[in-house]
Structure 1
Amino acid sequence: MEIKEFNLKSLREIPIFFACDEGFVKYTMVSIKSIMENASRDRRYHIYILHMGILAATQSRVTAMADADFDIDFVDVTEKMNSIAGKLPIRDYYSNTTYFRLFIPDMFPQYRKALYIDSDTIVVGDISQMYDHRLGRLYAGVCPDRVVAQNEILGEYVEKVLGVKREKYFNAGVMLINCSQFRENHLLDEFLELLHVYLFVVAQDQDYLNILCKDQVLYMEPKWNAQVFGELACPVEEVGLLHFNMAAKPWHYKDCRLAEYFWKYAKYTSSYGEIKEGLESYTDEQRYVDSVSGEKLVALAVSEINREDNYLRQVTNAHRSEEKLELLKHIEELEKEGRFAEDAQVNPPAPPLLPEDINYLSRSLKSKTQTKYAFKLVRWFVNLLIKKKQLIIKEYKGVENLEKVADGAVITCNHFNAFDSFAITLAFEQGKLKKKKLYRVIREGNYTGFPGFYGFLMRHCNTLPLSSNFKTMEKFITAVDRVLQKKQFVLVYPEQGMWWNYRKPRPLQKGAFTFAARNNKPVLPVFITMSDSDVIDADGFYVQEYTVHFCEPIYPDPSKKQAVNAKEMLDKNYEAWKAVYEETYKKKLTYTCDEQAASNE
């Protein structure tokens, strides 16, 4: 009966890894003791300590802690180090034992997943609960790094040097490693290759792991890595694992926060006397070094941020397409020359839209069926863009302003991306006006020149195409008037041409405002602001996160003439956009053409 129970436990074995040197192993013992005291005894545990040269006598003291449910073994990684020495760009790189965690999946092929834990930890919960998180095909289970989240400069560092959002940057001192995925995706080889590309000097191995595992991690409950340095991520009574990170070491400081949890277990280890002696002998000089270590870390981060060839700049510059770089250069030239209404991209020639080619607002059964099908395709397509992070909507602001114009309006928006109208469509469908229809004014070539999938959407998703043909434009004007009179909505881009990822509002053309004035309808200005996400697109540029600002509606004055109303609404629309721009980006709106004109006077 006992043998059967033992075999069952063996099948449910939990591997736990530490990495340390001779000087640190005494603290590893305390962490191990805390694990043993709080772990479920329904499981079996195998603790491995990776090292290079820990003395045999020291090893014996640690392995003596083993019991019926816990095996403890030391594994010398010197041979593994020698086997990859030729792949390393520098010889002394692995003096930091925390890098040893990268060897675990390859050195222990019998394990599907494993826990890695830094030695400066105390586990007060049942560690089997952390191990039992399901990872699927994700690389690891982790918790965000609280120091980075709370320090502005370190947060800026991980975003501008690593390309990782500060709230997603994880602390690698506690990891549930998906060994199968590490092996299958050759992450150790990727790490060795990355060493040749860039030497990270701030958080070193943690930075590499964040890059290698980006967007492929499970964020576990913060209680499994409650970092003592800084603000705890959860109430102390909920903590499962305390991490005495940075300089917050209870064996160096008598007043270290939550030190009682460390000493509770330290006193039951054979190293207790040695640890207490270390506390008493820790010098003021050593404490001073600790006090400035954080400042040095921040200084290193600032230096990396300001490097012209930092990692992220190297990566993005290497992959940025020449076509997009030329486009940005052309946009700069257009702004410098004040040619704001021109298209920045050269559109291929497309046939003109003739009166007989279109029946605006057709209500035939065929037309209604095609429109219904087209909108199903749009919803599928938008969901796909969001899933692939090609469309990222961070926030909607002022949506209540959309609800103020329930009887229809001309919606204006800045135009910088082929998908920007989807951001407005999503807000429109989610609000109280979801039963209303939103029509989009599009350029002629989008209607006549697009083949296949995109062409079908352009022709059947409530689009109102412009035309270079006078007779067709008469039909277009009638259609827009009819939409507004039926208390529906028309989306217009009054800047005209699309300027890719251009953040400034451009001078507006009068067409949208003339429609609003003639039909006695309000204008609802929408301005979309952008910020870099942590996703890089196929052209090597950041995918932008959009914040959609719905401004206060602008109403025509019935006592004024149409032309006067149109001009006044245009001016107010521009001022609303300008206000959003200056408030969001914290800078005054200026154009290079104005600056150049001023310098020539």
Structure 2
Amino acid sequence: MNRNTIIPIFFACDNQYTKYTMVAMKSMIENASKEYTYHMHILHTDVSAAMQERVKELENANTRIYFDDVTERLAKLDGELPVRDYYSHTTYYRLFIPDMYPQYDKAIYIDSDTITIGDISKLYEQNIDGYYVAGVRDQVVIQDETFGEYVEKVLGLDRHAYFNAGMLLMNCKVFREENLLQKFIQLLNTYTFVVAQDQDYLNIICKDQVLWLDASWNTEVFGELPCKEEDIQILHYNMASKPWHYEGFRLSEHFWKYAQMTSFYEQIRQELVDYTEEDKAKDRYSGEHLLELALREIQNENNYLNMMKKSNQQSAERLEILERIARLEREGHFDIDVENDPPSRTLMPEEVEYIHKTLGAKLRNRYAHKMGRWFMNMLIRRKQMIIKDVVGIENFKNLEQGAIITCNHFNAFDSFAIQVAYDRSEHKERKFYRVIKEGNYTSFPGFFGYLMRNCNTLPLSSNFATMKKFVKAVDELLQEGNFVLFYPEQSMWWNYRKPKPLKKGAYTFAVNNQVPVLPCFITMQDSNLLDQDGFPIQEYTIHISKPIYPDASLKHSENVESMRRANYEVWKEIYEKTYGIPLEYTCGPVDENGHPINAIMQACDEQEYAKKAE
């Protein structure tokens, strides 16, 4: 290498911490080989122009200093990045480096609470081909039993294979190729680490992809030093133990040597004098609190490692469900549920108040709506439900009477997607109801059971008297101008993209009440996020077609069949246009209603089929 070789080095800090960054940079510049050019980048959101000018005093013939504002990048993740005690959002900035600087194949990231005694170019010269990062084992984790146990029982990592992220040689090229920033975001949406935060995420992402460096390249001032003092290349005053807060702190002479060489020296010395016993008590509390958090996570039955173990079991169950869906499609049995729902029981008429008229029912309904909306917004915020687009919302907005809404059913939460469409339609004077299965009403426990029983739901029933009550309620709601969501496929197949054969119930209600059917069909595409079962979270596009109205010139049965056929054709058209493939089933060809010919006997009413056959 020579002066034409650029060594990129990154720091991250806020305006308050910049003076310590300057000391860290000064130590590096003083000891770096003059045979190279160094580009030192400070990632920040609020460093003032005046502060930047003071730091740039360090520039020389082979050192350039840049202040790079990451506000825009951070805004995309704000609210999702947990912070605690002496950590701030700056701890996450290192993750942006590979994508923000595509010109660099590798780069050094280093914390501002470090002093570089050795030649930083020797670190950069390390060959990291085939690795994500080069780093040093974290001595806090190795030497402290609680933190070691945390790493092993919460993260699922060997305590001797966990690096301290305060100094990293990053393989930026591989970070980009493997899309590691996106993997970090995925993990961020899966679990919130509260102990070492982004360092925990990085260790999990980089597992088995670390080039381990000698401890001298990141010597933490903690416990027993892992190398001889004379061999130290980089000193790291990590956690709360800072030389500018504690007089005579171990190895602090190295910090003050380089602090004296900066224009901030007097200011930093004054900070040492001004650091109060109350401030030191806060440091002790932070350390104790960190230990408590680690212990709490170790004891947490739903910590990351335990959750991953459960997830692996769930993934096997999900694969089994996908196999079951494929088999049922081959057999043409489209109206069979594939999920392992709780056992159901018969819903009796006295158990359900379809239209909330009593004070108690109204209060429960109001509370359920608040909780349901909170839950829906949480799903959207955490990207566990992603609404990419709503197409045709004008068809919803233009409705001037009550209507049956139909939608394909592929997820337990897909009714929330239709709720989003309803909200955007701005029909505040018309209420939105959902038809649900009997077992969803009678058998779901806890939070979801409460929503199922109180949040404008209309449960079906195997009891004749209850069904009479159901029919009367639906008719009344439609006549009052409200919207009722039906799933005419009458089965839920997880993430199944094709429209399934439609039953006639929804269209019978439409004809009986002379209201339109508003066909909605949700198409999906894989996002770059994974769900708890290890499958891509789907991005939804909600297609809202023009309403289908009853035809007064047709007989009742003809009208029902005409509306059902028209609905299926709309869904088929959306499917083929969106996915760019013809709608075909593994069971073979289908009839004009979308029923696989081999499955007509099970998909349609037998008497109706007999009439068709005649």
Which TM-score band (shorter chain)?
Answer: 0.5 to 0.7
Per-residue deviation, 1:193: 2.3
Distance 1:515 1:46 in 2: 75
Counterpart in the other structure of 1:530: 524
CA shift digits 1:446-497 (9 cap, x unpaired):
1111122212111111111111111211111111111111111110000001
Which residue of 310, 318, 326 maps to 1:324?
318
Amino acid in structure 1 at the alignment position of 2:410: F
CA shift digits 1:121-159 (9 cap, x unpaired):
xxxxxxxxxxxxxxxxx99xxxxx9x99xxxxx99x76x
Please tell me whether the aligned partners of residues 439 and 462 of structure 1 are also in contact (alpha carbons under 8 angstroms): yes
Please tell me whether the aligned partners of residues 520 and 544 of structure 2 are also in contact (alpha carbons under 8 angstroms): yes
Counterpart in the other structure of 1:259: none
Distance 1:191 1:432 in 2: 44
Counterpart in the other structure of 1:25: 36
Change (3 A) 1:164 1:578: farther
Is residue 193 of structure 1 aligned with residue 207 of structure 2?
yes
Distance 2:323 2:181 in 1: 24
CA shift digits 1:242-300 (9 cap, x unpaired):
xxxxxxxxxxxxxxxxxxxxxxxxxxxxxxxxxxxxxxxxxxxxxxxxxxxxxxxxxxx
Specify the SS of the correspondent of 1:439: strand
Which residue of 516, 519, 534 maps to 2:513?
519
Is residue 439 of structure 1 aligned with residue 433 of structure 2?
yes
Change (3 A) 1:48 1:594: farther
Distance 1:351 1:547 in 2: 35
Counterpart in the other structure of 2:394: 400
Specify the SS of the correspondent of 1:459: helix
Which residue of 538, 549, 552 maps to 1:558?
552
Amino acid in structure 2 at the alignment position of 1:464: L
Per-residue deviation, 1:506: 0.5
Distance 1:25 1:181 in 2: 38
**Structure 1 range deviating more: 444-453 or 565-574:** 444-453
Specify the SS of the correspondent of 2:584: coil
TM-score scaled by length of structure 2: 0.54
Specify the SS of the correspondent of 2:520: strand
Distance 1:422 1:552 in 2: 21
Distance 1:449 1:191 in 2: 40
Change (3 A) 1:455 1:78: same
Distance 2:329 2:37 in 1: 65
Change (3 A) 1:356 1:576: same
Is residue 44 of structure 1 aligned with residue 44 of structure 2?
no
Please tell me whether the aligned partners of residues 14 and 46 of structure 1 are also in contact (alpha carbons under 8 angstroms): no
Which residue of 543, 550, 553 maps to 1:549?
543
Is residue 359 of structure 1 aligned with residue 353 of structure 2?
yes
Q: How many residues align?
A: 391
Change (3 A) 1:447 1:318: closer
Is residue 62 of structure 1 aligned with residue 56 of structure 2?
no
Distance 1:44 1:339 in 2: 74
Is residue 76 of structure 1 aligned with residue 70 of structure 2?
no
TM-score scaled by length of structure 1: 0.55
Change (3 A) 1:578 1:74: farther
Change (3 A) 1:447 1:187: closer
Per-residue deviation, 1:504: 0.7
Specify the SS of the correspondent of 1:436: coil
Distance 1:192 1:491 in 2: 46
Distance 1:47 1:455 in 2: 65
Distance 1:423 1:8 in 2: 45
Per-residue deviation, 1:388: 2.2
Per-residue deviation, 1:79: 7.5
Amino acid in structure 2 at the alignment position of 1:25: Y
Please tell me whether the aligned partners of residues 460 and 470 of structure 2 are also in contact (alpha carbons under 8 angstroms): yes
Q: 1:29-428 residue pairs with structure 2 within 5 A? A: 40=50, 43-45=53-55, 62=62, 76-77=119-120, 92-93=127-128, 164=182, 185-186=199-200, 189-190=203-204, 193-195=207-209, 321-428=315-422
Change (3 A) 1:368 1:187: closer
Change (3 A) 1:591 1:381: same
CA shift digits 1:372-425 (9 cap, x unpaired):
111011111112222222221111111100012231100000001111001111
Which residue of 503, 506, 509 maps to 1:509?
503
**Structure 1 range deviating more: 186-195 or 364-373:** 186-195
Per-residue deviation, 1:349: 2.4
CA shift digits 1:210-263 (9 cap, x unpaired):
xxxxxxxxxxxxxxxxxxxxxxxxxxxxxxxxxxxxxxxxxxxxxxxxxxxxxx
Distance 1:452 1:412 in 2: 28
**Which structure 1 residue ranges, 5 or more long, are not aligned?**
1-6, 33-37, 50-59, 66-71, 83-90, 107-137, 140-144, 149-153, 170-179, 198-314
Amino acid in structure 2 at the alignment position of 1:76: D
Specify the SS of the correspondent of 1:428: helix
Distance 2:372 2:196 in 1: 37
Specify the SS of the correspondent of 2:209: helix
Q: 1:554-593 residue pairs with structure 2 within 5 A? A: 554-593=548-587
Specify the SS of the correspondent of 2:587: helix
Please tell me whether the aligned partners of residues 15 and 46 of structure 1 are also in contact (alpha carbons under 8 angstroms): no
Distance 2:525 2:64 in 1: 56
Please tell me whether the aligned partners of residues 404 and 506 of structure 2 are also in contact (alpha carbons under 8 angstroms): yes
Please tell me whether the aligned partners of residues 365 and 456 of structure 2 are also in contact (alpha carbons under 8 angstroms): yes
Please tell me whether the aligned partners of residues 494 and 508 of structure 1 are also in contact (alpha carbons under 8 angstroms): yes
Per-residue deviation, 1:509: 0.4
Please tell me whether the aligned partners of residues 47 and 73 of structure 1 are also in contact (alpha carbons under 8 angstroms): no
Distance 2:323 2:64 in 1: 69
Moved beyond 6 Å, runs of 4+ = 14-19, 21-24, 46-49, 78-82, 180-184, 317-320, 595-599
Is residue 429 of structure 1 aligned with residue 464 of structure 2?
no
Counterpart in the other structure of 2:446: 452
Change (3 A) 1:320 1:461: closer
Per-residue deviation, 1:355: 2.0
CA shift digits 1:80-117 (9 cap, x unpaired):
699xxxxxxxx942699x967x78x99xxxxxxxxxxx
Please tell me whether the aligned partners of residues 342 and 444 of structure 2 are also in contact (alpha carbons under 8 angstroms): no
**Which structure 2 residue ranges, 5 or more long, are not aligned?**
1-15, 43-47, 66-114, 140-164, 167-171, 187-193, 212-308, 591-595, 599-614
Specify the SS of the correspondent of 1:421: helix
Per-residue deviation, 1:348: 3.2
Per-residue deviation, 1:360: 2.4
Distance 2:552 2:388 in 1: 38
Please tell me whether the aligned partners of residues 411 and 524 of structure 1 are also in contact (alpha carbons under 8 angstroms): yes
Distance 1:574 1:383 in 2: 31
Change (3 A) 1:509 1:23: farther
Change (3 A) 1:345 1:191: closer
Per-residue deviation, 1:342: 1.0
Distance 2:348 2:494 in 1: 29
Specify the SS of the correspondent of 1:593: coil
Counterpart in the other structure of 2:108: none
Please tell me whether the aligned partners of residues 356 and 365 of structure 2 are also in contact (alpha carbons under 8 angstroms): no
Amino acid in structure 1 at the alignment position of 2:477: V
Distance 1:436 1:595 in 2: 40
Which residue of 478, 491, 504 maps to 1:497?
491
Change (3 A) 1:10 1:420: closer
Specify the SS of the correspondent of 2:404: strand
Please tell me whether the aligned partners of residues 24 and 116 of structure 2 are also in contact (alpha carbons under 8 angstroms): no
Distance 2:362 2:510 in 1: 27
CA shift digits 1:498-538 (9 cap, x unpaired):
10111111010000001101111100000011111222111
Distance 2:201 2:363 in 1: 50
